[in-house]
Amino acid sequence: MVTKNFVINNRYFDSIMLMSLSNRLREKVSGIEEAAAIMGSDENKKILREAGLLDEEGERALPGDLIIAIKGKSQEAVESGWKVAMDLLRGEAEKIDEKKAGASPRTIKSALKVLPDANLVLISLPGEYAASEAMEAISRGMNVMVFSDNVPVEEEIAIKRAGEKRGLFVLGPDCGTSIINGVALGFANVVRRGVFGIVGAAGTGIQELVSLIHRKGYGITHAIGTGGRDLSEEVGGIAFINALRVLGDDSRTEVIILLSKPPSPDVARRVIDEVISIGKPAVIVFLGNETRVEKDISGYSIQFAQNLEEAVERGISLYEKKEYRASEFTMPENEVNQLVEREANRVGRGRFLRGLFSGGTLADEAIFILRKKLGKVYSNTVKEDEFYLENPEMSREHTIIDMGEDYFTKAKPHPMIDFTLRKERIVKEASSGECGVILFDVVLGFGVHVDPASELASAVEKAREIANKDGWYISFVCSITGTDEDPQNY
């Protein structure tokens, strides 16, 4: 095996384009085992080093340099990969040259010359640079959404406190989804406007909520993402509480839905106090928190839900001033039971269930539901859990994997954009001889893969072929997050 780094000095390309380049190299060039195109920051070099992809040439790269790291079966394969990479980069450079007359601004200051009335900055930079740009935006009186992850928690606290002092929103870090006044930011779905306001410390969870609301014929005012750490004891729910106040002051918002993993008890009480003071009907989903929060909510139009669909159903009941009743199956219940029985008989006993999710909230929801039925379910999502998987590459008995977790996305595209790792994992599980059911999700909307069905179908077919040769059967169950108005069409 041969590993070689090629360094292009002082040349910047955005991270999505570089991730696409890495994937195309693996697909186009025979003999390439691994490829990564990445800027030469210290954090990125650490990622390459840990992956065994950094050589002396790459070690010398500066933060403004582009590193193309290629591992191949031979020197010839590596050199071929480099030539293909250069051809692809030249094509991108030509596109950039064609746009030079209206080149994209490179700083907040220059962007404001183009859009002087802009009041929000979306930051998607390597984590080590994100906070300083957020502070620059805040100093100019602008709201901030930090899409970037790997931002230290102390920097998150600093920028959120700075924003709070100036009466500004700071959403994130690691905020992948928001819909503000009908404008989609990050990964988001096409949904109608309406009366429901959402605050969530969960990106795909917000997408699932707004999609369910849309598909049931209703709409939203705003869906505000805060970043997954916002309700931790350290951060204290700064963005979450600010977002609640915005929804409280918004006359169009009639019902509020709150979503997160269980927050710290003190933060949970502050959040509920804020909901009580607002006085609007609200549904709270602290996903996986069976004991709920020790707070008296009797006399208030506040309800708790155990999962996302229940949250939407309860929200609609509050809006229509009806008693909550769980929805019926979309198929007749006897047909559902027959389908499940048929599949169960084909799978047989003694087989394990495996879930391969791109959405962290959807993975967590699956874990909490399945543990009630199956008992032990292993996962990579909750480190303090007794069933935490130290090695997410290896399933154990019943397993749910969040493939959007940082372990899988370092120097690689998010699995909602690129299905390569998930397709490989589907085939791997089929080859294990112990998997009878595979769960997976597909998230539609802006920023994600344009044709997920054709991508995943090929992996499902290959997995079934492998299982059939060994005389056993795999049942596939897919959940789809999205709407009929999304580019991919639910």
Confidence of residue 206 (pLDDT cuts 50, 70, 90): very high
Closest listed residue to residue 188, CA positions, set 445, 484, 16, 417? 445
**Matching CATH topology for 2-102 and 333-481?**
no
Q: Which fold has domain 108-320?
A: Rossmann fold (3.40.50)
How far apart are the C-alpha atoms of 206 and 287, rounded to whole Å? 13
pLDDT tens string 379-403: 998 877 889 999 999 999 999 999 9
How far apart are the C-alpha atoms of 108 and 149, rounded to whole Å? 20
Q: What is the pLDDT of residue 350?
A: 59
**Strands, sheet with 66-72, edge to edge from the N-terminal-most edge strand:** 2-8, 66-72, 32-39
Q: How many Cα neighbours within 13 Å face the side chain of 10?
A: 0
- Stated length of the chain: 490
Question: What is the mean pLDDT of the segment spanning 422-438?
Answer: 91
* pLDDT at position 335 over 80: no
Question: What is the mean pLDDT of the segment spanning 244-268?
Answer: 94
Q: Which fold has domain 2-102?
A: Alpha-Beta Plaits (3.30.70)
Q: What is the pLDDT of residue 454?
A: 87
Question: What is the mean pLDDT of the segment spanning 293-302?
Answer: 72
Confidence of residue 95 (pLDDT cuts 50, 70, 90): low
| Helix or strand (DSSP H, E) at 370 | helix 360-374
Q: Which residues contact 114 (CB under 8 A, 6 or more apart)?
A: 105
* pLDDT at position 316 over 80: yes
Of 125-139, 402-416, 457-471, which gets the smallest average pLDDT?
A: 402-416
Q: Where are the domains of the chain?
A: 2-102, 108-320, 333-481
Confidence of residue 20 (pLDDT cuts 50, 70, 90): confident
How far apart are the C-alpha atoms of 330 and 276, rounded to whole Å? 35
How far apart are the C-alpha atoms of 63 and 203, rounded to whole Å? 29
Number of H helices, E strands in the chain: 16, 18
Q: Which fold has domain 333-481?
A: Rossmann fold (3.40.50)
The first and second tokens of residue 186, run together, are 């990050």
Cβ-contact 203, 180 below 8 angstroms = no
